[in-house]
């Protein structure tokens, strides 16, 4: 592909067919209606008082409140800490898997992705079952070593960081993996030829070349941690910004506190814009695309290093497996408390949540499937517009996409209720009264994964390949179909996979919008957890983990055989 | 030809059948609750109501419930602005029902006089707790106290006696072992804070609450998380309400116990029909069912008490009803007891936001220091 000749015929200039124009307009209409309009509701609330008059007093209250300021500081520190921990682990894993051969490499490649699919709430619950004050480890310590007080692994910032690190490092690995495998080996060979070896070559050549992937990964991790409220809540940490936003919003009785929740959400959105701008500035200034798309040579590791690599991955997987084991035990254990493992076992919980009430599973598959469809229809053209055209407003489009990631789900849920609770024109029914609002809100919330996945792949495919096709007479649409898509489909697939897995795990936005009969698995987990039915919640968690693991496995297989063993 | 007649016949019969059904439609065939009350109480009552409707009117009612904490449920009803996606609001504090009625978000109950007359106007002294709305927008359904849950095995490990009253939570050995939900987050926790404040007066009350914060190991997001973390043995004791799942944990096999201190506030678990509902007749039929002997019996097996003196919690030895009696310390009906109530809901509602402010300033923002 690198040998595609550049045609000598001068270009005829970009033609803009009507169909592209309509598509472009439709995408913007979608974004304005389903992202910008609901968001304006939050900002409207943040800048007004109960009487609806403009005021800045809400922000004044925030910035003079020591508790809120401490929450802001803690959130920033936690976000940075999570980026550091996931970077160290994520880069190490990506590097090992792309570059080296060692026993069971393919299996490890798959297993190290699994922590990503830990559903919210269930992941942290699983950790608490094993590492909590009455968890397996502490019960052992107290029973065997006669320790008077349990060790506090979970309740505090350390617990949140542990959960976020284990949950999110695969996000980092996947973001870098795609970019790293496309780095032209000749660049590294050149570095080697000039005397740069080992770490030096890695720092000076390999790592900078994977920057687009890394920055998007880091941004995802930072923003995810920044916006996560479920994990801190379970371990009793409340002085974080997202937690304050959630807690203030979900108590509706005290209107003052409720409004402060909206204000904090607005602030989260504003901060997210800032992060996105900084990150974009960093990625946009360099051209990382490469004409080469060659298979990466994998080196065999020496015996000692080989076992070190395997040892590292096994240790990592051991820690990552803690929540899964905890959830599985809770799903089959009855009345489990203060014993290392459950004393009584039952399959009742599984029967209840699958056979007796199959709606959770059915709704999840249907709504997430629809959401991914919407993501693909809207997201892939968006990525293409942003990376390939000079259309005005594409910068705004990109910022908007990333911004969506940062908005707390609860805020989106509230925004949708406020914005779409009016009867639609033509039919006497509000959007929030139809189940279609669920796939819609999922698609909007998970759109960035599809867009980012497609975008970073497009960035790495040099434009001259498409220009060559256009120069020999292919239309833009034809070029897109015959040249671009075959080159970037893996990125699109990974993006769509992210969108699907994240959709099927979404609970925060849907929690506010779900009406009787529409419950997806995560909302089911939430309602069972709220009702204190931990067994049923854990069973649904196990089902969700299995669903995600299977879909991850399928994609792993498909992508793996087609692109020369990149993923397995 | 015969086949044609048969077909015609079938068509005619089905035509009449649907016509007849529409005419005799005593209630709508759908019913949705929004409620903080646990599934252990809502699921069996809804299921039995569906059976009752089938027997009485031969109508299959599709029932469901939206589980939501009291503040969330209240908030959603306000956000729905008279175009509700649920028919009935059940549970929480009656003051919130009054607030909803003021905003025209509740419809009048209009239940038969005999049904309403069976429910006394109030219970408790010196401050009577209203059991039904004089204006007719809500009525109590069952009685249950806002009390304490604890894990006996963990308490034994810590060397702490089983609690009987609020003050037992301040035991020095319980340091780091109490779970509570902030009053800013939960209306039931708020009510318990008010019980302490109204019992001790402002100054002593806040000092007491600060000492409790010093013993607290976790502030949970919702009041229902308290029995949940106590049941698993993560923490030893905390405030709880039986039907907001404390009893559910007991039924799920956890060793969890409940005690209502003498001054515990008792909630009538109010119920009301949301204004603008699409199923008003089904909603009223459900409330009437819940207040009937049949409905009360189903509820009584779930750890809550009858709303009228007519019934008492009673079952065969080993039955769920007897388990509930044991769980709540031997009470069979609150009308058998001299209920002491010192909590004035009017005072509480008037200073609701002020108490929250003070909590945020004096406890939440300095919780780490209080623990030292």
Q: Is there a contact between B218 and A430 if contact means CB atoms under 8 Å apart?
A: no
Question: Domain tally for chain A?
Answer: 1
Q: Is there a contact between B221 and A418 if contact means CB atoms under 8 Å apart?
A: no
Sign of the CA dihedral B229, B230, B236, B238?
positive
Higher pLDDT, B274 or B15: B274
Residue A209 to residue A204: CA distance in whole angstroms: 9
Whether residue A46 is contained in a domain is answered as yes
Residue A84 to residue A90: CA distance in whole angstroms: 10
Higher pLDDT, A128 or A401: A128
To which H or E segment does residue B329 belong? Answer: none
Q: What is the pLDDT of residues B304-337, one digit of tens each?
A: 899 999 999 988 888 888 888 888 778 899 998 8
What pLDDT score was predicted for residue B200?
95
Chain A: nearest CA to B218, how far in angstroms? 5
pLDDT at A37 over 60: yes
Which of A134, A252, A527 shows the shortest C-beta gap to B71?
A252
Can you point out the beta strands (E) in B131-268?
A: 142-145, 147-150, 178-181, 216-220, 237-240, 257-259, 266-267
State phi, psi for A102 to the nearest 5 degrees. Answer: -155, 165
Q: Collapse the DSSP code of B201 into the 3-class scheme (helix H, G, I; strand E, B; otherwise coil) and give the result.
A: coil
Which residues of chain A neighbour B360 with C-beta distances below 8 Å?
67
pLDDT at A89 over 50: yes
3-state helix, strand, coil in chain A (%, to 5): 75, 0, 25
Distances (CA, A) of A396 to A32, A36, A404, B27, B347: 12, 12, 12, 53, 52
pLDDT at B101 over 90: yes
Taking the CB of residue B110, how many other CB atoms lie within 10 A of it? Answer: 10
Q: Is there a contact between A236 and B40 if contact means CB atoms under 8 Å apart?
A: no
Q: Is there a contact between A66 and B365 if contact means CB atoms under 8 Å apart?
A: yes
pLDDT at B179 over 50: yes
Whether residue A36 is contained in a domain is answered as yes
Complete domains list, chain B, with CATH: 28-144+267-322 (3.40.190.10), 147-264+342-370 (3.40.190.10)
What pLDDT score was predicted for residue A265?
83
| Closest-CA residue to B139 (of B165, B177, B163, B112) | B112
Higher pLDDT, B50 or B254: B50
pLDDT at B23 over 60: no
Q: Which of B73, B75, B248, B352 to mutate to test the interface with A (most CBs of A within 10 A)?
A: B75
pLDDT at B232 over 80: yes
What pLDDT score was predicted for residue A201?
74
Whether residue A13 is contained in a domain is answered as no
What pLDDT score was predicted for residue A293?
42
pLDDT-based confidence at residue A16 (cuts at 50, 70, 90): low
| Closest-CA residue to A410 (of A244, A532, A544) | A244
| Closest-CA residue to B222 (of B249, B195, B241, B209) | B241
Higher pLDDT, A108 or A425: A108
Chain B: nearest CA to A527, how far in angstroms? 6
Q: What is the mean pLDDT of chain B?
A: 88
What pLDDT score was predicted for residue A566?
28
pLDDT at A521 over 60: yes
pLDDT-based confidence at residue A5 (cuts at 50, 70, 90): very low
The ipTM, to two decimals, is 0.73
Which of A70, A252, A532 shows the shortest C-beta gap to B72?
A252
Higher pLDDT, A560 or A542: A542
Residue B183 has, within 13 A of its CA and on its CB side, a CA count of: 26
pLDDT at B283 over 90: yes
State phi, psi for B305 to the nearest 5 degrees. Answer: -115, 150
Chain B: nearest CA to A155, how far in angstroms? 8
Whether residue A326 is contained in a domain is answered as yes
Which of B69, B255, B353 shows the shortest C-beta gap to A256?
B353
What pLDDT score was predicted for residue A8?
38
pLDDT-based confidence at residue B245 (cuts at 50, 70, 90): low
Nearest CA in chain B to A143: B157
To which H or E segment does residue A124 belong? Answer: helix A122-131
Q: Which of A148, A340, A516, A528 to mutate to test the interface with B (most CBs of B within 10 A)?
A: A516
pLDDT-based confidence at residue B282 (cuts at 50, 70, 90): very high
pLDDT-based confidence at residue A406 (cuts at 50, 70, 90): low
% of chain A residues with pLDDT over 70? 88
% of chain A residues with pLDDT over 90? 25
Mean pLDDT across A464-477: 81
Going by their DSSP bridges, the two strands B142-145 and B266-267 should be labelled as: antiparallel
Tokens of B131: 């059991």
pLDDT-based confidence at residue A291 (cuts at 50, 70, 90): very low
pLDDT at B21 over 60: no
Domain residues for the domain of A299 are: 18-562
Q: Which of A336, A420, A532, A540 to mutate to test the interface with B (most CBs of B within 10 A)?
A: A532
SS (H, E, C) A220-250: HHHHHHHHCCHHHHHCCCCCCHHHHHHHHHH
Angle between helices B70-80 and B187-200 (to 10 degrees): 120
Higher pLDDT, A45 or B150: B150
pLDDT at A290 over 60: no
List the single range of A402-406, A422-426, B10-14, B74-78 with lowest mean pLDDT.
B10-14
Nearest CA in chain A to B87: A516
Q: Is there a contact between B234 and A134 if contact means CB atoms under 8 Å apart?
A: yes
Whether residue A5 is contained in a domain is answered as no
Q: Is there a contact between B85 and A252 if contact means CB atoms under 8 Å apart?
A: no
Residue A196 to residue B211: CA distance in whole angstroms: 63
pLDDT at A349 over 70: yes
Nearest CA in chain B to A336: B232
Against a cut of 0.95, is the pTM above it?
A: no
Whether residue A568 is contained in a domain is answered as no
Which of B71, B252, B253 shows the shortest C-beta gap to A253?
B71
pLDDT at A512 over 60: yes
Taking the CB of residue A390, how many other CB atoms lie within 10 A of it? Answer: 7
Q: For position A350, which CATH number holds?
A: 1.10.3720.10
Q: Contact at 8 Å (CB) between B123 and B140?
A: no
Whether residue A1 is contained in a domain is answered as no
pLDDT at B13 over 60: no
pLDDT at B15 over 50: no
pLDDT at A341 over 60: yes
Whether residue A12 is contained in a domain is answered as no
- DSSP characters for B136-173? SS-B--EEEE-EEEE-HHHHHHHT-PPP-SGGGGG-GG
Tokens of A212: 């687009």
Which residues of chain A neighbour B70 with C-beta distances below 8 Å?
253
To which H or E segment does residue B215 belong? Answer: helix B202-215
Q: Collapse the DSSP code of A213 into the 3-class scheme (helix H, G, I; strand E, B; otherwise coil) and give the result.
A: helix
List the single range of A51-65, A104-118, A276-290, B198-212 with lowest mean pLDDT.
A276-290
Q: What is the mean pLDDT of chain A?
A: 81
What pLDDT score was predicted for residue A178?
66
Q: Is there a contact between B231 and A535 if contact means CB atoms under 8 Å apart?
A: no
Q: Is there a contact between B83 and A421 if contact means CB atoms under 8 Å apart?
A: yes
To which H or E segment does residue B273 belong? Answer: strand B271-274
Mean pLDDT across A472-480: 80
| Closest-CA residue to A342 (of A53, A134, A49) | A134
Residue B294 to residue A424: CA distance in whole angstroms: 42
Angle between helices A359-388 and A485-505 (to 10 degrees): 140
What pLDDT score was predicted for residue A360?
92
State phi, psi for A149 to the nearest 5 degrees. Answer: -120, 145
């Amino acid at each position: 592909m690198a040998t595609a000749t550049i045609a000598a015929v001068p270009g005829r200039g970009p033609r803009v067919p009507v169909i592209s124009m309509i598509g472009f307009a439709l995408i913007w209409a979608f974004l304005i209606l389903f992202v910008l309009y609901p968001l304006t509701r939050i900002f409207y609330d943040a800048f007004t008082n109960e009487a609806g008059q403009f005021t800045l007093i809400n922000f004044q209250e925030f910035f003079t409140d020591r508790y809120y300021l401490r929450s802001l500081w803690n959130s920033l520190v936690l976000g940075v800490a999570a980026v550091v921990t996931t970077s160290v682990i994520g880069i190490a894993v990506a590097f090992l898997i792309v570059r080296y051969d060692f026993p069971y490499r393919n299996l490890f490649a798959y297993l190290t992705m699994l922590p990503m699919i830990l559903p919210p709430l269930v992941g942290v619950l699983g950790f608490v079952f094993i590492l909590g004050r009455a968890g397996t480890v502490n019960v052992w310590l107290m029973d065997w070593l006669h320790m008077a007080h349990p060790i506090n692994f979970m309740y505090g910032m350390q617990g949140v960081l542990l959960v976020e690190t284990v949950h999110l490092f695969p996000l980092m690995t996947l973001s870098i993996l795609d970019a790293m495998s496309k780095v032209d080996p000749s660049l590294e060979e050149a570095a080697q030829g000039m005397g740069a070896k080992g770490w030096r070559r890695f720092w000076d050549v390999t790592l900078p070349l994977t920057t687009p992937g890394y920055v998007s990964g880091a941004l995802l991790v930072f923003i995810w941690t920044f916006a996560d409220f479920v994990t801190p809540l379970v371990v009793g940490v409340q002085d974080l910004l997202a937690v304050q936003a959630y807690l203030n919003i979900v108590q509706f009785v005290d209107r003052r506190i409720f409004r402060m929740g909206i204000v904090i959400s607005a602030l989260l959105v504003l901060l997210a814009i800032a992060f996105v701008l900084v990150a974009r500035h960093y990625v946009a200034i360099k051209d990382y695309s490469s004409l080469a798309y060659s298979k990466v040579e994998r080196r065999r590791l020496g015996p000692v290093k080989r076992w070190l690599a395997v040892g590292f991955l096994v240790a990592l997987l051991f820690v990552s497996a803690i929540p899964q084991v905890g959830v599985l035990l809770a799903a089959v254990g009855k009345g489990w408390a203060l014993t290392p493992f459950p004393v009584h076992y039952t399959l009742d919980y599984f029967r209840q949540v699958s056979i007796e009430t199959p709606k959770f599973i059915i709704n999840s598959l249907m709504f997430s499937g629809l959401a991914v469809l919407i993501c693909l229809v809207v997201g892939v053209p968006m990525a293409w517009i942003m990376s390939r055209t000079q259309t005005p407003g594409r910068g705004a489009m990109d910022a908007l996409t990333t911004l969506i990631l940062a908005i707390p789900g609860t805020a989106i849920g509230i925004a949708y209720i406020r914005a779409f609770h009016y009867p639609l024109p033509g039919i006497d029914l509000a959007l929030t009264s139809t189940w279609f609002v669920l796939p819609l809100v999922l698609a909007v919330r998970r759109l960035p994964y599809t867009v980012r996945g497609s975008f970073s792949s497009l960035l790495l495919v040099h434009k001259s390949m498409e220009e060559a096709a256009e120069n020999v007479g292919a239309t833009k649409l034809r070029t897109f179909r015959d040249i671009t898509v075959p080159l970037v489909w893996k990125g699109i697939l990974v993006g769509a996979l992210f969108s699907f897995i994240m959709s099927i795990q979404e609970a925060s936005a849907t929690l506010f919008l779900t009406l009787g009969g529409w419950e997806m698995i995560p909302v089911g987990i939430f309602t069972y957890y709220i009702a204190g039915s931990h067994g049923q919640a854990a069973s649904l968690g196990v089902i969700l983990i299995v669903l995600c693991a299977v879909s991850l496995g399928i994609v792993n297989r498909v992508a793996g055989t087609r692109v020369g063993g990149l993923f397995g | 030809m015969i086949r044609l007649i048969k077909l015609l016949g079938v068509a005619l019969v089905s035509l009449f059948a649907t016509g007849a059904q529409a005419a005799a439609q005593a209630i709508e065939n759908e019913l949705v609750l929004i409620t903080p009350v646990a599934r252990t109480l809502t699921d069996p009552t809804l299921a039995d109501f569906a059976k009752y409707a089938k027997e009485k009117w031969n109508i299959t009612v599709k029932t469901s419930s939206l589980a939501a904490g009291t503040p969330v449920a209240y908030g959603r009803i306000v956000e729905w602005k008279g175009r509700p996606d649920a028919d009935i609001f059940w549970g929480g504090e009656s003051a919130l029902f009054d607030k909803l009625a003021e905003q025209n978000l509740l419809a009048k109950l209009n239940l038969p006089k005999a049904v309403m007359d069976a429910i006394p106007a109030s219970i408790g002294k010196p401050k009577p707790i209203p059991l039904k709305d004089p204006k007719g927008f809500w009525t109590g359904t069952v009685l249950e106290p806002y009390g304490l849950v604890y894990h006996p095995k963990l308490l034994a490990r810590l060397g702490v006696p089983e609690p009987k009253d609020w003050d037992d939570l301040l035991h020095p050995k319980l340091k780091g072992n109490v779970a509570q939900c902030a009053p800013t987050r939960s209306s039931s926790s708020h009510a318990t804070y008010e019980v302490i404040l109204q019992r001790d007066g402002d100054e002593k009350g806040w000092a007491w609450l600060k000492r409790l914060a010093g013993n607290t190991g976790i502030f949970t997001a919702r009041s229902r998380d308290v029995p949940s973390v106590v049941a698993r043995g993560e923490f030893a004791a905390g405030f709880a309400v039986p039907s907001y799942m404390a009893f559910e944990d007991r039924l799920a096999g956890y060793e969890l116990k409940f005690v209502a201190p003498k001054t515990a506030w008792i909630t009538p678990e109010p119920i009301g029909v949301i204004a603008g509902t699409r199923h008003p007749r089904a909603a009223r039929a459900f409330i009437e069912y819940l207040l009937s002997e049949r409905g009360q019996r189903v509820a009584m097996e779930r750890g809550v008490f009858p709303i009228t003196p007519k019934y008492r919690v009673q079952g065969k030895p080993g039955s769920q009803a007897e388990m509930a009696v044991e769980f709540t310390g031997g009470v069979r009906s609150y009308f058998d007891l001299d209920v002491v109530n010192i909590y004035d809901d009017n005072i509480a509602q008037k200073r609701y936001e002020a108490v929250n402010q003070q909590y945020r300033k004096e406890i939440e923002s300095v919780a780490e220091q209080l623990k030292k």
